[in-house]
Amino acid sequence: MISQIQKMSDEMKEHLLGKLVPFWRSLRDDEKGGWYGYMSYGLAVEKEAVKGCILNSRITWFFSNVAIRIQEGLITEEDCKKHGYSAEDIYNEAKHGYRFLKEYCIDSVNGGIYWSLYADGKPEDTTKHTYNQAFCIYALTSYYELLHDREALDLALSLYELIEEKCTDEIGYMEAFSVDFRPVSNEKLSENGVMASKTMNTLLHVFEAYTQLYKVTQDQRVKKSLHRILDIFATKMYNADKHRQEVFFDQYYHPIIDLHSYGHDIEAAWLIDHGLDVLGETESENIYTAITDDLTDNIFHTAFNGRSLANECENGIVNTHRVWWVQAEAVIGFLNGWQKDHSHTEYLLASLKEWEYIKDYLIDQREGSEWFWEVDEAGKPYEGRPIVEPWKCPYHNGRMCMEVMKRVHEMIVCENI
């Protein structure tokens, strides 16, 4: 098993540095800032396409974290030069992203980050969404962890304070707002024919962002917010009878659709475990790790077919598409489940099988491409799906590579395997 785990980590390092980093570096817009916002399935880059602020937050997060892996020694200068760039180039990509977020994406008048910009950096969609604020926090705090730039941390803290002041009610976290933070309808995070006031997806990523913010600040206000979110997950979103999270809710966190999102459940399982680790509170782990154990077990037995994960199940009907981010999160989620309990060797095998599936079907081998968005059950790509657009980015697949690299390194160093 040790050799298989190490092989997966080595392959992911090569994939990260040889495929993902060069691809996203090639989309950098040196004239107008940020990164080009769209590449078609046919690999045509639309340089005048709208630039999603989520996309640019996630790319900034990505390059910041690649640079952090360099600081940690998991990536060397020689590793970078092998692929035609330097470690300094990676740092410069992170700096490029930070400048774009600070100078264009963040609203200096009303506060918060816009939804999207025109190619020249002018606001295109001025919606202020809690989901988007969270991803900007995630990017800024990673950038701060890398370079200890106090300005970036202050921006992240201001977004945290804005969410807590403008985007919460007595029950939890509201989501969609106008440019000046008046509530609006939540089309952007609603799917499957419903209009949700609150969503599991948004709350999960607020938790993720706050985890990183707490990691770099140890701010007790953020700690309190993390506990509040954990309580909402446990009491409002987790359905113990169905062994899953509910997805879309009314304003009171009442579920409004029978939907099981397989990818979000396996992602939530490891993200919550990571948050608990950052909080360092073993008493709370007894409550919440039982939930994450249940989510992992249910996904393994319900959605995993021995090689890959189905997408979701609505009203008892399974969507069998294989979506890029779902497979990436499954690799981490199953590896995390095995790390918690080594008797679950089936989880480790599932993680390894998922990586093999990704290599066989989701990584686009065409020159100048990255991953397909989704493939059908037989592994055939859906040609109408772009390679890059406001939601398609190096966040899930890049994070998969870096999480596996870090986890495997720590396991081997600690001789836990």
Residue-wise pLDDT tens digits, 362-408: 999 999 999 999 999 999 999 999 999 999 999 999 999 999 999 99
Q: What is the 3-state secondary structure (H, E, C) of the chain?
A: CHHHHHHHHHHHHHHHHHHHHHHHHHCECCCCCCECCCECCCCCECCCCCEEHHHHHHHHHHHHHHHHHHHHCCCCHHHHHCCCCCHHHHHHHHHHHHHHHHHHHECCCCCCECCEECCCCCEEECCEEHHHHHHHHHHHHHHHHHHCCHHHHHHHHHHHHHHHHHCECCCCECCEECCCCCECCCHHHCCCCCCCCEEHHHHHHHHHHHHHHHHHHCCHHHHHHHHHHHHHHHHHHEECCCCEECCEECCCCCECCCEEEHHHHHHHHHHHHHHHHHHCCHHHHHHHHHHHHHHHHHHHHHCECCCCECCEEECCEEECCEEHHHHHHHHHHHHHHHHHCCCCHHHHHHHHHHHHHHHHHHECCCCCCCECCEECCCCCECCCCCCEECCECCHHHHHHHHHHHHHHHHHHHCCCC
How far apart CA 244 and CA 237 sit, in angstroms, is 8
pLDDT band (50, 70, 90) for residue 416: low
Sheet hosting strand 123-125, strand order edge to edge: 51-52, 116-117, 123-125
Q: How many angstroms separate the CA atoms of 130 and 203, rounded?
A: 9
pLDDT in tens, 96-125: 999 999 999 999 999 999 999 999 999 999
pLDDT in tens, 24-63: 999 999 999 999 999 999 999 999 999 999 999 999 999 9
Can you give the pLDDT at residue 24?
98
Q: Where residue 97 sits, what CATH number does that domain have?
A: 1.50.10.10
Number of separate domains in the chain: 1
**How large is the average pLDDT for residues 123-144?**
98
Question: What proportion of the chain, given as a percentage, has pLDDT over 70?
Answer: 99
- Over residues 306-332, the pLDDT tens digits come to 999 999 999 999 999 999 999 999 999
pTM of the entire structure?
0.97
Q: How far is CA 138 from the centre of its chain?
A: 9
- Its domain, for residue 115, covers 2-413
> Token pair of 177, please?
């707002």
* Cα end-to-end span (Å), the chain: 8
User: Which pLDDT does position 92 carry in this prediction?
Assistant: 98
